[in-house]
Structure 1
Amino acid sequence: MTAFKAAYVRFRRRPDQPDRWDDLSEMIDFGGQIGDPRIMRMPSLSQEDVYQGPIFGLRDFPGFLYAPQALSINLQHFLSYRALSVYCETPHTTNIDLIPPKSHEIVNNIENNESQWDLWKNTVRIEDSKEKLKTSRSTTRTFYRNYDKLSWATLGHHYDWTSRTYPLEMSSPMAPELTDLSTFFARTAFQYSAAGISTSFSFAATASIVNFYNEKSNMGCHRDDGELAVDKPIVSVSMGRPAVFLLGGATKDDVPVPILVRAGDVMILGGASRLNYHSMARLLPYEGLPPVAESACPQEPVGLSGLQLVPPEDMIFVNEFLSSHRINVNVRQVFPDSQVRDD
């Protein structure tokens, strides 16, 4: 068993203790235990178009950056709403699309209010009306596309999980808010890199994978090496339930470090850490979550300050989803700058 596998087994969800916090002392907590010797606080940047809040690195992981509580509540809600109502619908692709509908499943007709978002709202309404949970669940599962089956969605260049490539013919439009957000934090990472001294910044947000985790979900050890522009960082943002993220090294024999991830946190994998192995071991409960020692959410990133708030009637259903799920959105540049310019 590799060192990463051994750590993953230790930190992953245990059915008999699904809400355990017994290993909290081992986790790196950028929002709380900022006195942890493994953590280094990065100096403030003077540029106006980069992140101005507290941002940290890890001594043994050059290129890795972490901005705790970097996204305001309103921005978290907006991204969650978009993930649930737009990112998981056509023309974007999800894991559901890889398996044809079964004979008893109804292929959703969005014109008839059968989007996954519509079905979720109906499910919550049924549960709120005190009808049996079994009835609402069985009704939802008759539809081909629904949140019970949803694990991930892809925007921009779609990743082919079989060939582990990004075929040019597989794509959908990138969400402009994800382009703005990821470019903002990629520019921030660039200013901390050695390259920032002598070269100009460039980052093309051309692909995004949106992960939807339920209480039993996890993600095994892997590294993001399917892109040809591995000199560009991956920007990852989280909403909803907290989680245990394992950050490893260049091989599976390197012992990973566990990181406590909260809603609103932004993680950047760049530099020498861009190709490090990593995984999501388990979701954590809200109850027992340590308080944030320093909460300093600055103004919204450039281009995101004027976003329209989620309607209150929809926020009820967003909050219901986030009470038991985690949404992670990560954005990356797929092809080198020369190919991006050619496209």
Structure 2
Amino acid sequence: MFKRSFKYYKSKKPLPSLEDVLDMNKSGQLLKDSKIERCFIDSKEYCHLLGLKPPGEWEIFQIVNHPGLIFVKNPFTSVGQRYWTVKCLKDYTKKPNKMNIDGSDKIIANSDFWEIAQHDRNILMSLRWTTLGYHHNWNTKHYNEAEREQFPEELKKMIEYIANQLGYTDFVAEAAIVNYYQMNSTLSGHTDHSENNLNAPLFSLSFGQTAIFLIGGKTLEEKPTSLFLRSGDIVIMSKESRLAYHAVPKIIHTEITPWKINNDCTWENDNNEMQFLVDESDWKPFGEYLEHSRINVNVRQVV
């Protein structure tokens, strides 16, 4: 059932119908049909330095038929979306983090990927993943203590802040895989079981174009649920859903661009980062990337 659904949504001819894809922009109808349950945080705390809106304003849902699957509808400010996009493209592609294109003759030791990519579109479009903290070994599917770097402090703070607001008070961010999707990219059905602590939730953040996300059960025989993941949306996989099969069969163009600056936030810090983020000429190459790409950040606790 899972593979059949994946093939259906992946299809280009004919294009799949999207009427059964859960759309949190239509949450009222979904609540009426009892597909989701609304959750609330009674908090006025404002962590704007992490690019987040006050937790009391977050729209949080539980997917009824997938226990432990939590959906947070874009809790980021517009500047926050820009901040994390820049981090993923400009900062997290630097050494000692690992990338899929490390073996390229154009990427030499200690070179600046983003600077090179501004003059080489092929390199930019070849980027598929980078790993942070504990580096996931794609061959063995395990983490090695010897292949571990310091996890980015600002990402650690942001994820653990979200985790605490949602009640996951013991979560420690130790590893991340940043995936870079183009419009024809897919991610086949799989489970995430490499971590030593499989009771800890998995946090998945999306920026840029929209993904169709499939989440099933412990076997490929179970029919998955499909839902849209738009820019800024967060999915938390815990409890039964932590080891469920999931996939991304299709990326679709978004009509919603929440990274366009509006009056939803302020950004106060001492390194003038706000000015860089709101300056449209500085932001332009990052915005152009998001117009045809999706960035997905998966954060895990390993031990």
TM-score range, shorter chain: 0.7 to 0.9
- Specify which of 83, 87, 102 is matched with residue 88 of structure 2: 83
- 1:227 is aligned to 2:198: no
- 1:268 is aligned to 2:266: no
Give the Å deviation of 1:46: 4.9
Give the Å deviation of 1:329: 0.7
Give the aligned partner of residue 41 of structure 1: 38
Give the aligned partner of residue 118 of structure 2: 121
Give the Å deviation of 1:32: 2.5
Secondary structure, aligned partner of 1:31: helix
Secondary structure, aligned partner of 2:179: strand
Structure number with larger C-alpha Rg: 1
Q: Could you tell me which amino acid in structure 1 is paired with residue 118 of structure 2?
A: K
Give the Å deviation of 1:120: 3.0
Q: Is the 8 A contact 1:189 1:268 kept in 2?
A: no
| Count of matched residue pairs | 283
Give the Å deviation of 1:162: 1.2
Give the aligned partner of residue 209 of structure 2: 241
Q: Percent identity?
A: 27
Give the aligned partner of residue 217 of structure 1: 185
Q: Could you tell me which amino acid in structure 2 is paired with residue 7 of structure 1?
A: S
- Specify which of 275, 297, 300 is matched with residue 329 of structure 1: 297
Give the aligned partner of residue 178 of structure 1: 155
Larger relative contact order (Cα-Cα within 8 Å, sequence gap ≥ 6): 1
Give the Å deviation of 1:189: 3.1
Give the Å deviation of 1:122: 3.0
1:125-136 matches, cutoff 5 A: none
Give the Å deviation of 1:241: 0.3
Give the aligned partner of residue 51 of structure 1: 55
Give the Å deviation of 1:47: 8.1
Normalising by structure 2, report the TM-score. 0.85
Secondary structure, aligned partner of 1:181: helix
Give the Å deviation of 1:286: 2.1
Q: Could you tell me which amino acid in structure 1 is paired with residue 55 of structure 2?
A: Y
* CA deviation string 1:253-272 (max 9, x = no partner): 11001111110111111122
Distance 2:177 2:249 in 1: 18
* CA deviation string 1:86-122 (max 9, x = no partner): 112210011223xx44xxx334476xxx632123333
C-alpha root-mean-square deviation of aligned residues, in Å? 2.6
Q: Is the 8 A contact 2:151 2:174 kept in 1?
A: yes
Distance 2:41 2:220 in 1: 34
- 1:63 is aligned to 2:68: yes
Secondary structure, aligned partner of 2:173: coil
Give the aligned partner of residue 152 of structure 1: 129
Distance 1:28 1:39 in 2: 9
Give the aligned partner of residue 31 of structure 1: 25
Give the aligned partner of residue 341 of structure 1: none
Distance 1:203 1:226 in 2: 17
Give the aligned partner of residue 106 of structure 2: 106
- 1:8 is aligned to 2:6: yes
Secondary structure, aligned partner of 2:86: helix
Q: Could you tell me which amino acid in structure 1 is paired with residue 193 of structure 2?
A: D
The structure richer in strand per residue is 2
Secondary structure, aligned partner of 2:82: helix
Give the aligned partner of residue 316 of structure 1: 284
Distance 1:323 1:78 in 2: 16
Distance 2:268 2:240 in 1: 32
Q: Is the 8 A contact 1:70 1:298 kept in 2?
A: no
Distance 1:58 1:298, change over 3 A: farther
- Specify which of 89, 92, 101 is matched with residue 96 of structure 1: 101
Q: Is the 8 A contact 1:156 1:171 kept in 2?
A: yes
Distance 1:239 1:305, change over 3 A: farther
Distance 1:253 1:174, change over 3 A: same
Distance 1:76 1:13, change over 3 A: farther
Give the aligned partner of residue 134 of structure 1: none
Distance 1:305 1:224, change over 3 A: farther
Give the Å deviation of 1:215: 1.0
Normalising by structure 1, report the TM-score. 0.75
Unaligned runs of 5+ in 2: 47-53
Give the aligned partner of residue 194 of structure 1: none
Give the aligned partner of residue 246 of structure 2: 278
Unaligned runs of 5+ in 1: 124-139, 192-200, 336-343
Secondary structure, aligned partner of 1:253: coil
